[in-house]
Amino acid sequence: MDTRHTVVDSGLGPLAVVARGQALTGLYFTDHVRRPAEETLGPRVPAEDDPLFAEAAEQIHDYLAGRRDTFALPLAPEGDTFQHAVWDLVRAIPHGGTTTYGTIAERLGAPGLAQRVGQAVGANPLCILVPCHRVVGADNSLTGYAGGLARKRALLTLEEPAEVTASRLF
Protein backbone atom coordinates (compact mmCIF):
# COMPACT_ATOMS: atom_id res chain seq x y z
CA MET A 1 0.00 0.00 0.00
CA ASP A 2 2.07 2.95 -1.23
CA THR A 3 4.77 2.71 1.47
CA ARG A 4 7.73 4.88 0.59
CA HIS A 5 10.48 6.81 2.31
CA THR A 6 12.85 9.69 1.93
CA VAL A 7 15.94 10.77 3.82
CA VAL A 8 16.10 14.22 5.37
CA ASP A 9 19.47 15.61 6.41
CA SER A 10 19.43 17.22 9.82
CA GLY A 11 21.90 18.57 12.35
CA LEU A 12 21.28 15.36 14.29
CA GLY A 13 22.08 13.08 11.38
CA PRO A 14 20.06 11.66 8.50
CA LEU A 15 16.40 10.93 9.22
CA ALA A 16 14.44 8.30 7.31
CA VAL A 17 10.88 9.59 6.91
CA VAL A 18 8.39 6.83 6.06
CA ALA A 19 4.87 7.29 4.72
CA ARG A 20 1.98 5.10 3.75
CA GLY A 21 -0.59 6.84 1.62
CA GLN A 22 -0.98 10.41 2.83
CA ALA A 23 0.28 9.95 6.40
CA LEU A 24 3.68 9.56 8.03
CA THR A 25 4.25 6.22 9.71
CA GLY A 26 7.90 6.43 10.73
CA LEU A 27 10.78 8.79 11.47
CA TYR A 28 14.07 7.07 12.24
CA PHE A 29 17.72 7.97 12.74
CA THR A 30 20.24 5.84 10.85
CA ASP A 31 21.29 4.11 14.09
CA HIS A 32 17.81 4.10 15.63
CA VAL A 33 17.44 1.23 18.12
CA ARG A 34 14.16 -0.06 16.67
CA ARG A 35 14.62 0.98 13.06
CA PRO A 36 12.78 -1.36 10.69
CA ALA A 37 14.68 -3.22 7.99
CA GLU A 38 15.47 -1.03 4.98
CA GLU A 39 13.42 -3.20 2.61
CA THR A 40 10.24 -2.54 4.64
CA LEU A 41 10.51 1.23 4.15
CA GLY A 42 9.43 1.08 0.52
CA PRO A 43 11.20 2.81 -2.36
CA ARG A 44 13.25 5.92 -1.65
CA VAL A 45 11.67 9.04 -3.09
CA PRO A 46 13.33 12.47 -3.26
CA ALA A 47 11.55 14.72 -0.74
CA GLU A 48 10.98 17.40 -3.36
CA ASP A 49 9.07 14.90 -5.53
CA ASP A 50 6.49 14.10 -2.84
CA PRO A 51 4.38 16.91 -1.29
CA LEU A 52 4.04 15.09 2.05
CA PHE A 53 7.78 14.55 2.30
CA ALA A 54 8.54 18.11 1.20
CA GLU A 55 6.27 19.47 3.95
CA ALA A 56 7.72 17.08 6.54
CA ALA A 57 11.29 18.09 5.61
CA GLU A 58 10.41 21.78 5.87
CA GLN A 59 8.75 21.37 9.27
CA ILE A 60 11.60 19.23 10.63
CA HIS A 61 14.19 21.79 9.46
CA ASP A 62 12.16 24.64 10.97
CA TYR A 63 11.84 22.79 14.28
CA LEU A 64 15.58 22.03 14.46
CA ALA A 65 16.35 25.68 13.62
CA GLY A 66 14.13 26.85 16.48
CA ARG A 67 11.48 28.38 14.19
CA ARG A 68 8.71 25.88 15.01
CA ASP A 69 7.58 24.22 18.20
CA THR A 70 4.70 22.05 16.93
CA PHE A 71 4.13 19.91 13.88
CA ALA A 72 1.12 19.94 11.56
CA LEU A 73 1.57 16.68 9.70
CA PRO A 74 -0.77 13.70 9.22
CA LEU A 75 0.54 10.85 11.39
CA ALA A 76 -0.48 7.19 11.34
CA PRO A 77 1.88 5.23 13.60
CA GLU A 78 1.24 1.51 13.86
CA GLY A 79 0.73 0.24 17.39
CA ASP A 80 -1.71 -1.32 19.80
CA THR A 81 -4.37 0.51 21.81
CA PHE A 82 -2.12 0.98 24.85
CA GLN A 83 0.74 2.36 22.73
CA HIS A 84 -1.60 4.82 21.04
CA ALA A 85 -2.90 5.99 24.42
CA VAL A 86 0.70 6.58 25.57
CA TRP A 87 1.70 8.30 22.32
CA ASP A 88 -1.33 10.60 22.55
CA LEU A 89 -0.18 11.72 26.00
CA VAL A 90 3.39 12.13 24.75
CA ARG A 91 2.13 14.35 21.91
CA ALA A 92 0.40 16.52 24.52
CA ILE A 93 3.66 17.30 26.37
CA PRO A 94 4.27 20.97 25.57
CA HIS A 95 7.38 22.19 23.77
CA GLY A 96 10.01 22.89 26.41
CA GLY A 97 8.33 20.62 28.94
CA THR A 98 9.03 17.14 30.21
CA THR A 99 7.15 14.44 32.07
CA THR A 100 7.98 11.05 33.53
CA TYR A 101 6.97 7.52 32.64
CA GLY A 102 5.23 7.28 36.02
CA THR A 103 3.22 10.44 35.41
CA ILE A 104 2.03 9.09 32.07
CA ALA A 105 1.05 5.80 33.78
CA GLU A 106 -0.90 7.77 36.40
CA ARG A 107 -2.67 9.79 33.69
CA LEU A 108 -3.69 6.49 32.09
CA GLY A 109 -5.14 5.41 35.44
CA ALA A 110 -2.52 2.69 35.86
CA PRO A 111 0.25 4.00 38.15
CA GLY A 112 1.86 0.56 38.36
CA LEU A 113 2.51 0.42 34.63
CA ALA A 114 5.41 2.88 34.35
CA GLN A 115 7.63 0.15 32.85
CA ARG A 116 4.99 -0.72 30.25
CA VAL A 117 4.69 2.99 29.46
CA GLY A 118 8.46 3.03 28.97
CA GLN A 119 8.18 0.17 26.50
CA ALA A 120 5.46 2.02 24.57
CA VAL A 121 7.52 5.21 24.53
CA GLY A 122 10.52 3.20 23.32
CA ALA A 123 8.42 1.70 20.52
CA ASN A 124 7.36 5.13 19.23
CA PRO A 125 7.96 4.99 15.45
CA LEU A 126 7.77 8.78 14.98
CA CYS A 127 10.63 10.22 17.01
CA ILE A 128 10.66 14.01 17.24
CA LEU A 129 7.13 14.24 15.76
CA VAL A 130 5.76 12.30 18.74
CA PRO A 131 8.23 13.90 21.17
CA CYS A 132 9.31 10.92 23.27
CA HIS A 133 12.53 12.81 24.05
CA ARG A 134 10.39 14.83 26.51
CA VAL A 135 9.87 11.77 28.73
CA VAL A 136 12.49 11.50 31.48
CA GLY A 137 13.16 9.33 34.50
CA ALA A 138 11.39 9.80 37.84
CA ASP A 139 14.39 11.80 39.11
CA ASN A 140 14.44 13.91 35.91
CA SER A 141 17.43 11.97 34.60
CA LEU A 142 17.85 11.28 30.91
CA THR A 143 16.79 7.73 30.28
CA GLY A 144 16.80 5.65 27.12
CA TYR A 145 16.12 7.17 23.75
CA ALA A 146 16.05 5.10 20.56
CA GLY A 147 18.05 7.81 18.78
CA GLY A 148 20.69 7.89 21.53
CA LEU A 149 21.02 9.98 24.69
CA ALA A 150 23.19 12.62 22.97
CA ARG A 151 20.31 13.36 20.58
CA LYS A 152 17.79 13.36 23.43
CA ARG A 153 19.94 15.90 25.27
CA ALA A 154 20.28 18.00 22.10
CA LEU A 155 16.50 18.01 21.51
CA LEU A 156 15.76 18.97 25.12
CA THR A 157 18.40 21.71 24.96
CA LEU A 158 16.87 23.01 21.71
CA GLU A 159 13.48 23.25 23.44
CA GLU A 160 14.78 24.66 26.70
CA PRO A 161 12.93 27.83 27.73
CA ALA A 162 15.00 31.02 27.45
CA GLU A 163 14.72 31.76 31.18
CA VAL A 164 16.24 28.36 32.02
CA THR A 165 19.09 28.87 29.56
CA ALA A 166 19.73 32.38 30.94
CA SER A 167 19.88 31.10 34.54
CA ARG A 168 22.63 28.56 33.88
CA LEU A 169 25.94 29.13 35.59
CA PHE A 170 27.94 27.38 32.86
Do 23 and 86 belong together in one domain? no
Determine the 3-state secondary structure of 157 from DSSP.
Answer: helix
Q: What is the pLDDT of residue 71?
A: 97
| 160: confidence class by pLDDT, cuts 50, 70, 90 | confident
CATH number for position 55: 3.30.160.70
Task: Convert the pLDDT of each residue in 52-109 to its tens digit.
Answer: 999 999 999 999 999 999 999 999 999 999 999 999 999 999 999 999 999 999 999 9
Set 132, 136, 146, 155: catalytic member? 132
CA distance to 21, 38, 41, 66, 111, per residue, from 155 (Å): 29, 25, 25, 10, 27
In a domain, 168, yes or no: no
Do 142 and 88 belong together in one domain? yes
Domain carrying residue 141 = 81-160
What does the DSSP assignment read for 31-67?
T-TTPPPGGGG--B--GGGSHHHHHHHHHHHHHHTTS
Task: Convert the pLDDT of each residue in 6-45 to its tens digit.
Answer: 999 999 999 999 999 999 999 999 888 889 989 999 999 9
Given a cut of 60, is residue 166 above it in pLDDT? no
Beta bridge partner(s), residue 29: 15
Count of domains for the chain: 2
| 51: confidence class by pLDDT, cuts 50, 70, 90 | very high
Do 8 and 41 belong together in one domain? yes
Listed in sequence order, the DSSP H helices in 16-145 are 51-64, 81-91, 101-107, 114-122
Average pLDDT rounded to a whole number, residues 45-53: 97
In a domain, 169, yes or no: no
Last residue of a domain, one of 31, 64, 97: 64
CA distance 105 to 16: 30
Do 126 and 92 belong together in one domain? yes
In a domain, 73, yes or no: no
User: Is 127 tagged catalytic?
Assistant: no
| 128: confidence class by pLDDT, cuts 50, 70, 90 | very high
